[in-house]
Amino acid sequence: MSKELAKTYDPKGIEDRLYKKWENNGYFHAQADRSKKPFTIVMPPPNITGQLHMGHALDNTMQDILIRYKRMQGYNALWQPGTDHAAIATEVKVIDSLKKQGIDKNDLGREGFLEKCWEWKDEYGSRIINQLKKMGSSADWSRERFTMDKGCSDAVLEVFIKLYEKGLIYKGSRIVNWCPVCKTSISDAEVEHEEQDGFFWHINYPVVGEAGRFVEIATTRPETLFGDTAVAVNPDDERYQDIIGKMLKLPMTDREIPVIADSYVDKEFGTGCVKITPAHDPNDFEVGKRHNLEEIVVINDDATMNSKAGKYAGMDRYECRKALVEDLEKEGLLVKVVPHSHNVGTHDRCGTTVEPMIKQQWFVKMDDLIKPAVEGVKNGDIKLLPKRMEKTYFNWTDNIRDWCISRQLWWGHRIPAYYCDECGEMVVSKNAPEKCPKCGCTHMTQDPDTLDTWFSSALWPFSTLGWPEKTEDLDYFYPNDVLVTGYDIIFFWVIRMIFSGYEQMGKAPFHTVLFHGLVRDSQGRKMSKSLGNGIDPLEVIDKYGADALRLTLITGNAPGNDMRFYWERVEASRNFANKVWNASRFIMMNLEGMEVTKPAISDLAPEDKWILSAVNTLTKEVTENMDKFELGIAVQKVYDFIWDEFCDWYIEIAKVRTYKKDEDARAANSALWTLRTVLGQALKLLHPYMPFITEEIYCTLNPQEETIMLADWPVYKEEWNFSAEEEMLAHVKELVKGIRNLRTEMDVPPSRKAKVFIVSEDKALCETFESMKKTYQNLISASEIDVQSDKAGIGEDAVSVVIPGAVVYMPLEDLVDMEKEKERLLKEEERLKKELARSHGMLNNEKFVSKAPAAKIQEEKDKLAKYEQMMATVQERLAQMK
C-alpha cells in the first residue's frame, strides 16, 4: 500500500488538515437537486457575541452526526448555518467597549452607535463559527446567514407588515418585563428565575368607616403598594363575604380602594386577601382588566419611585421598601415579617432584578396564531423527542399571553412604524412614507424601538432559504427535517418557529424536534461564569482532540436528559481512538504488499463468518437507533463492537493466520479480506461521531477513495447472516474467558502452556470445539486439546472451570510449579488466618459493636466474608495438591 498511518494517533496533526480538505473540496455544500431526496437541518444561530461552550458543543455535535449520517445514506443533506445579532447582548458588549474608550453611546447618536455595532460584528461575529469548525461541524458555510443581513431583514419587515395588516400586531399598554439597567423591555427568554431569600410583609389595610377593622394582606414587594387599586378575595371564601364591595384606606396615601371578588385568589395561600397592582404584576393586570381597575405606574424606568409614591419619590425601589416598612411599623400597620424563599426574575445579561411594568409597547396577538402550533403537535405533524416535552409545550400554549416584541434598543430590526410630527398619525410601512396620509405633513418620524431578537429567529427555517422570495432552495429544502436544540428554549424559540412556519408557509417548519439536556459539571451543577465551573471545549480539543470530545458528549446521552462532564470520560474516549488507530495500523501492516481478493464463502473460517455476521447485525441495529434519534445507544453499540468483538476477539483470533500467510495463502487471504472489510464497515458506522480519525484511517486504508464522508452508509446484507457461526463463536468465547479467568486467579503466566480437556455430553458442542481448535488454541495457551464426552483419562488433581454446556479441566502440574505453588498457598493461608482472627476479634468486641457506626460494622462484616471465601479457595487448592 502506498500510504501508511503514523505510529501514534495525534489529533492536532490531522484535524485542521482534514477540515481544510473537506471545505476546499466542497463536501459540505448542498444545492437543490430533484434527483435526490433532501434532508435539512437549520443550525440554532449562535450569538455574534458568543464563545463556544459545552452546550454549543453538544448541540452542534448532535446535528453534525445526523447530517453526516444522512449524507452517507445518499440524501442531499443541507445543514444551514448562521448567526444571531443578539440585540441586548451585543448592545451591552459594545456599550462596555465604548465606555473603556471614554465614549458614551448617546454622544455618538443612533447612526454612529450602529456603525460601532457593525464594526463589532465584523470583528467578533465569525469567532464562534471558527470554533464550531474546530468541532468538525460539516455545515454548508457557503450559505452562512446573519439575522440582520438584507434577506433576513426583508423577511422580518414582510412578516411585521403582514401580521399588522391582519390585526395580529398591535400597539398597546400591557405588562412587560422591564430591565432598569438596560432600560428595555425583555422577553421571557431573557428572564432567569432564581431562588432568593426574601420576606412576606403582612400589612393591615383599614376598612373605611369601621374603626379598628382591617384586612391583612401579605406581599413580597411593599414598595408597589402605591400602585394598588384594589384588594381581591376569593368569591367562595366565607371569611370575607361581608367585606366584598367595601372600601379600604390604602396605607401611607390619601386614596381609598375597593375589595373585589375574583377566583384568581387562592383561599389557602397567605391570608386569602391579595393586593391588586395592575401596573406592576402580570396576574394583577389581568384581574384589573376584568374589573376595570385603574393602572397606576409608581416606578420609573431606572427603578426609582415616581411622584405617585409621595414622600418616597426619587428613592431607589429598595430604599423605598426599607423606609416604607419602617413607617408602616410606626403607624401600627405592619403585622409581622415572615421569611420567605421565592423565585425572582433577573435579566440574564446583567443580573438585575426585572421589574414587571405596564408600558406602551408592540405586541403580537397570540390567541389565533398559536392554534396550528398546538394542532401540529397533537396530530403528529411535529414530533417532540422525548415525548414528555409535549407536557411542557402544551402547558405554555394553554397559558399563552400576547408577545411583547418591542425593545428599547438601537441594535436590531427597527419597527417599521412612522408618526406624523404634526398630527401624530401612525403609518406602518416597509419604507418611510413621503407624507402623512391624514394631514399631508412631510415630516414623519420612525418609531425608535427595535424588534425582539426572537422575532427574526422565529423565521429562521424559511428566511435562511430566501423567503419572502420564492426561491428554488425554499421549494426544495423547506420544510426542514429536524431541529436539534436544548429543552431550555422550547417556549422562546421552538414554539415561535412553529407558529411562524404555519402562518407564513402554511406548514410546519420541521417534522421532528430533538431536545437535548444541559451539560453539567462533574458535581451535577449548571456550568456558569459565577461558579467558575465552565469548561472550554477548545481546551478539551487542544488536549484530546475533537473526536474524543464529540464521543464523550454523545456516549450515554439520551434525548432531553442532562449529562455530567468528566475529564476521565474524555480520556477514555481518547483511549478508544488510540485503540482504533493501533488496530488499523496492525491491519494495514499485514496488508502491506498483499494482493487481497474477495474469498469464496466456503473459504471463510467460522470466525470470519461470525465477525461479518456481527458487523451486519450491528449495521442494522445502529441504523434503526439513529433513525429513532437514539444517538447515545447507537454509538455505544459501535464502541462495544470495535473494542470488544473486533479488536479484543477477532483480531487476536485472526493473528494466527496473518502470521502464517506464507504457509496457507488462502486462509491468510480470507483473514485479511475480513479484517479490511469489517474495519471499513466499522469506520463508516463510527464516522458521524468521530469524523477526523475515521477519515484519516479510511482514506489510508482505501487510497483510491476521496473521503469517507461521501462513502455509502453500510446496509444489512442477508448473505452475511451466519447465525450458526455466531453461536459457535459464542461457545468459544465462553471457553476462552473461563480458562483465562482461572489462569488469572491462579496467577499462571500466559507463556506457561497446559493441556486442556473439554468434557461435554452435547455432541454438537463437542463438534464445535473440535473443529475450531486452531481458532482458540493460542488464546488459551494450550499445549494440546482433548474434546471428550466423559472424564476418562483426567487426573484427580486437575483444576476445572464450568462453562455453558461443558466442563474444562487442566492438570494442575501443567499450570504451576507444585512446590512453589504449595509454598505460596501456605503463606496465603497464614496471612488469611491472621486477618480472620483480627476480623472475628473486632466483631466479637462489644465495645466496637456498640460504638462504631453501622457503616463501619458492615464494612468489617464484608471483609470477614471475603476472607472466609478466600480461605475456602486456598484450603481447597491445598487439599487437591495433597
Q: Give me the long-range contacts of 861-869 (CB less than 8 A, separation at least 24).
A: 863/835, 863/839, 864/836, 864/839, 864/840, 867/832, 867/835, 867/836, 867/839, 868/836
Tell me the DSSP string of 675-688: HHHHHHHHHHHHTT
Do 651 and 675 touch, CB atoms closer than 8 A?
Answer: yes
Q: For 81, which DSSP code?
A: -
Q: Grid coordinates in use for 557? A: 446521552
| Side chain identity, residue 23 | E
Cα–Cα distance, 773 to 816 (Å, whole number): 23
Cα–Cα distance, 802 to 805 (Å, whole number): 8
Please state the separation of Cα 402 from the chain's center in Å: 29
Nearest to 29 by CA among 73, 67, 84: 67
Nearest to 88 by CA among 446, 460, 493, 450: 450
Cα distances (Å, whole numbers) of residue 849 to 66, 841, 846, 855, 858: 59, 11, 5, 11, 10
Cα–Cα distance, 859 to 879 (Å, whole number): 30
Cα–Cα distance, 218 to 122 (Å, whole number): 52
Cα–Cα distance, 686 to 554 (Å, whole number): 12
Cα–Cα distance, 482 to 626 (Å, whole number): 13
Q: Grid coordinates in use for 115? A: 456603525
Nearest to 194 by CA among 342, 355, 350, 354: 342
CA atoms within 13 A of residue 723's CA, in its CB half-sphere = 1
Cα–Cα distance, 824 to 821 (Å, whole number): 5
Residue 275 counted as an annotated binding residue? no
Nearest to 778 by CA among 736, 815, 734, 727: 736
Cα–Cα distance, 480 to 509 (Å, whole number): 6
Cβ neighbourhood burial of 732 (10 Å; 0-12, 13-18, 19+): buried
Nearest to 403 by CA among 514, 290, 523, 495: 495
Query: Is the C-alpha dihedral spanning 718, 720, 725, 731 positive or negative?
Result: negative
Strands of the 230-233 sheet, one edge to the other:
247-249, 256-261, 230-233, 273-276
Do 677 and 685 touch, CB atoms closer than 8 A?
Answer: no
Cβ neighbourhood burial of 498 (10 Å; 0-12, 13-18, 19+): buried
Q: For 415, which DSSP code?
A: P
CA atoms within 13 A of residue 802's CA, in its CB half-sphere = 0
Cα–Cα distance, 790 to 804 (Å, whole number): 16
Cβ neighbourhood burial of 508 (10 Å; 0-12, 13-18, 19+): buried
Which helix or strand (DSSP H or E) is residue 863 part of?
Answer: helix 854-881
Q: Maximum Cα–Cα distance for the chain, whole Å?
A: 119
Ramachandran area for residue 69 (φ above 0: left; ψ -120 to 50: alpha; else beta): alpha
Cα–Cα distance, 732 to 482 (Å, whole number): 44
Q: Which residue ranges make up the annotated binding site for ATP?
A: 529
Q: Which residue ranges make up the annotated binding site?
A: 529
